[in-house]
Chains A and B, each alone.
Chain A
Amino acid sequence: MSPIVQTLKVSLALIIALLGLVALYQMLMAEVSTGHDYTNYFKWSLATGAVFLASGAALTILDKEDTLITPFDEEKKK
């Protein structure tokens, strides 16, 4: 795995973990705050979606290492 792909994957894991924590915090807060209108989620949903799509596209282009290689193919490669 190339360093770029590895960095991308680690960054993504961090973003997903952060999103999970934020979601958990928001759920806990939901029980104590009732006055706020939470309908406006569009912008951050669009932004997060775009980040995931871009990362997915980057990984598709960069991470073409074939993991489905058979022992026979490996032998041939050597």
Chain B
Amino acid sequence: MCSELISKSYQGLIAGFQQVTLAIERMLNGVFSQKYNPFYYHGALPNFFLWVLFVSGLLLFAYYNPTLEGAYPSIEYITKHIPSGNLFRALHRYAADGMMIFVLLHFFRVWFTDRYREYRILPWITGVILISVLFLAGLTGYMLIWDSSSVALTYMTVNFLEHLPVFGHSLAELLMGGSIVTDFTLARYLFLHLGIPSLMLFLLWWHYLRITRPVTNAPFVLNLLMFGGLLFVCGLLPIGMDAPPDLAAPGTTIEVDWLYMLPHGLLTNGLSPEMAWIILLGIPLGMLLLPYIQRKQYTGQFAQVVDENCTGCQLCYHDCPYEAITMVDRDDDTKFKRLAVVDSGRCANCGLCVGACAFKAIEIPRMTTDLVLKEIKLVLAES
């Protein structure tokens, strides 16, 4: 009774969010037209920002010195003495923000429009991991500047990590490259900041693996608008540097960027570290479990092979965009050597295999070939 009430309230809430999302999309259609509506490219636009991050990051990496003595002066040198160096810094910073914002938009849109369950589980799971990875890359980016704020952020993060039972201390040492802040700390930050995006490329490939014809690039006009917006923001809100680091008297307050510093923000607002850990781990864990908690919409309604009609011709196998059909050897009395088998977890219930089959050997229970033919005849008779 109680679980039913919770389920109904949840469904109602999501339906409400879905209405709002679709209303915003319709409104943006009026401004941008359907062709350039950024809401239709929230999955592709983060890739544009990723390119900006790679290019601007390359320049910053070329001049960055990951040592306690050298990090701050190298950032200062990039800022003041490299032509457009500070612009590259600003581009790097705001492109990361742009990427995170569009990734979150993508995430909420997929969630609210119920596109994360059944055969879409893999993109959802990898997507949640990608957001976590992006979060960590952003956090280490702030630490690499190594000004007074970065030092305060380092100590705050280490303190927070120490509060995690069992693994906390090891994680803190892993982050710092030892038990105290040394040159290894910045090398470790740099490794995490560069290694994580490399992992991101692999995760992105995995993210797209099960998506049919994924849209990975937004139209040129949208990319132009985004780049123009980036340059405009860089000019409007230039980034600077805080005071040089003082390890003897590190600061205790930081300016919280909620996109990458959720636990720090919670701690700054008076929440206990334990509670912050519960929230930090609870959100991604809940999101990972969400598709499994939600009930299946079409239980048992995936494509089903009629064994006696299957000739093993592989037409359905080649046509299935979700790779839900495999061909197996058959050892029954028929003259055919192969049999199509449907993986229910991958089947999207789209019916393409039914259209591909010339032998009525594969059917969607809610839409059998006979039912479809009957409907076509009815429509033709009416017209």
The chain A residues found within 8 Å of chain B, CB to CB, are: 12, 23, 26-27, 29-30, 34, 36-39, 41-57, 59-60, 63-64, 66-68
Contact = CB atoms under 8 A, between A and B. Distances in A.
Contacts of A48: 228, 231
Contacts of A12: 224
Nearest to A53: B228
Interface stretch (B74-82, B203-211, B274-282): B74-82
20 contacts: A12-B224, A26-B83, A30-B85, A34-B81, A36-B81, A37-B81, A38-B80, A38-B82, A38-B84, A39-B80, A41-B87, A42-B236, A45-B87, A46-B232, A47-B235, A48-B228, A49-B233, A49-B234, A49-B235, A60-B225
B35 interface: yes
Nearest to B33: A64
A45 B235 contact: yes
Given A49-B230, A52-B228, 8 more contacts: A26-B83, A36-B81, A38-B83, A41-B84, A42-B235, A46-B231, A48-B228, A52-B225
Nearest to B231: A49
B359 interface: no
B82 A60 contact: no
Contacts of A43: 235
A51 B228 contact: yes
- Interface majority SS (helix, strand, loop, mixed), chain A: helix
Contacts of B51: none
Contacts of A44: 235
B148 interface: no
Nearest to B237: A42
A48 B228 CA distance: 7
Interface string B83-94: 111110010000
Interface string B228-247: 11111111101000000000
A48 B59 CA distance: 20
Contacts, number: 96
B232 A49 contact: yes
Contacts of A56: 221-222, 224-225, 228
Listed residue (A43, A45, A46, A50) with the most chain B CB atoms within 10 angstroms of its CB: A45
A36 B59 CA distance: 19
Nearest to A52: B228
B111 interface: no
Listed residue (A43, A52, A68) with the most chain B CB atoms within 10 angstroms of its CB: A52
Interface string B270-292: 00000000000000000000000
Nearest to B63: A30
A42 B238 contact: yes
Q: Please provide the 6 A-B residue pairs with the shortest distance between their CB atoms, ordered closest to farther.
A: A52-B228, A49-B232, A46-B235, A49-B231, A45-B235, A26-B83
Given A41-B235, A46-B235, A48-B231, A30 B83 contact: yes
A44 B33 CA distance: 30
Contacts of A26: 83-84
B124 to A, nearest CB: 26
A23 to B, nearest CB: 6
A7 B92 CA distance: 31
B81 to A, nearest CB: 6
A64 B29 CA distance: 12
B79 A39 contact: yes
A17 to B, nearest CB: 14
A68 B87 CA distance: 37
A59 B80 CA distance: 36
Interface in B69-120: 79-87, 90
